[in-house]
Structure 1
């Protein structure tokens, strides 16, 4: 075990919590600070687009742990936003830090500052145009959807990825008319390709969603400072009582500019999640070399955040003992459908339905590239996915 006196974890989401818990579980007894940019206790994000948005859960139910848990681990929770890193002196600077002077020394650091949602240039100053990343966003969007429903208005969702479609399903369950827009020819195209994307399109259209693919947003119109319509690239106009912009997110790394850390599409790390001596990154913000595929990856998946947070903490504490080589995994819940996927899904993949059928709404799809199995996707068949996941795992053995 390395001799560490002070560890800072910058980022209060799932990756940061996993890193802090792993450090204590692995025997680290020194000072441990967990910095979170939000005033709430660290919480889970997947329920925001579903249970919190629909009102099925109170926001507090998303908390990953209660306050007593962190106290029991002797983890100091700091509310504030990381604004700078001095690598040579070993200092993280925090704006608005409670109970401190805003500088936190370390000899070990885990960066887990996550993502920031992208916004469209048009409509950013109009009331009623929303993004969804944190709990406050979810509550504001819920209020906007409820107001639109009462007024007989329509929800317009820009972006047909996981987030946009989960919100579309939630909004339909709340009684709203919903239009979803995306410039690609099928929803979830980048994640699952055109064949399964077509099944996703049918799922939403069968539930009454006005799904328009192959079109972008030209501009947003408003009255008295509030959005009223969205004009599309094909010249048509869609009325809007509330708009969600779900066009992806970017890693929160601007606070690291000037630090000397390698920054690209995130914090660039090696196969051990190490960005510099004593400095590691985990979760959505981390771009690392996955030995399983021999290339750099950055995954915005919930389970990866927990697994990578734990891996980064172990390597920080024990000295790069194990490369982080996961088989990527993601899931999404939309209406009564659970989609689970393991592996990678190259754009040129050959997709076959191995079990069940798309028409019956229960199937397993296999993705192959160059004749090699690369991914498996289950649609309401979770148990039948696991044998194929095992095959994917057995295709590569860590050295």
Structure 2
């Protein structure tokens, strides 16, 4: 019986569907549909050869995102942390913040190691000084793990047996062991983990000096060779900055500064400014107000470069009432009043001696007291009070006690 005849049987069974020919029609219809489905499969899995052929034709090259993406994330994270670390007005900081900065310094050095020699790597343990909580070592181990996974291509594997507590009977004694007790234990653990090196870290806190130190070493599994070791101290960089923003010179900076002095290379800068001022005049229109455009070249010297000596030239122009076409040319010395600080503005005070030139008449000598405020790095304000020796300027005398003000751009 065909599928069509079976369908007729079924359609004619609306009155009494339980007759013999109706049941026979149901069976044949279901059977014929099943044969058709098996004869024309649509969703069966493809053979390996077909899949391989299609994949070779439609192969999609996925971009590699390992080191590039991780380093981009680490740079963004580092900028965020720097903004959080360098804060003004804090009298004290948390040891967690100090350790976060020291670990960032450690990772910057680890990035320079040969990956083939170090990776894969496992952390054997993090030890702390007795005045720190043992739980603090677990926090540091977690922080090291997160930094390796986020900002390094070195593969890191977890070592469960490195700090495990084991007991065994040796002779007639019950022996308690923590971690490895022999070189053979280390080699066996490394073979199980498939690592080339181990990392040890030790954290010390010295309350009297308010100092935190981090010592790290990476050693080879095969022969115990120390592949890399370094010690980081909060005194040299972060702790002082975090406490008050004071700029502490590191040993590397001090060395570069010494080489610069030996080679007699100057540390100089320049300042552009504009403003105004007043010079006393005994004429009927009174004192002469003027506008100023000037430039100053200076060289910094001394400890922390808190001293500067330079030369300057500035105009003294008035094209309205009491016309004046003059200029000041001279030398100056200033010293930074406050201690160099990364967070505070800079206060500079000093003096200058200059010549006031106004043409054939009115030329005189001027003594000046200067005070400048630099808002961090580029922009600033300045105020000067000076005394110019009175001389004849036309029918009247010019000179006396005057002042200047300026808006500065520092480079």
The answer to whether TM tops 0.5 is no
Q: TM-score, normalised by structure 2?
A: 0.20
Q: Which has the higher strand share?
A: 2
Larger relative contact order, structure 1 or 2 (CA cutoff 8 Å, min sep 6): 1
Q: TM-score, normalised by structure 1?
A: 0.21
Structure with bigger gyration radius: 2
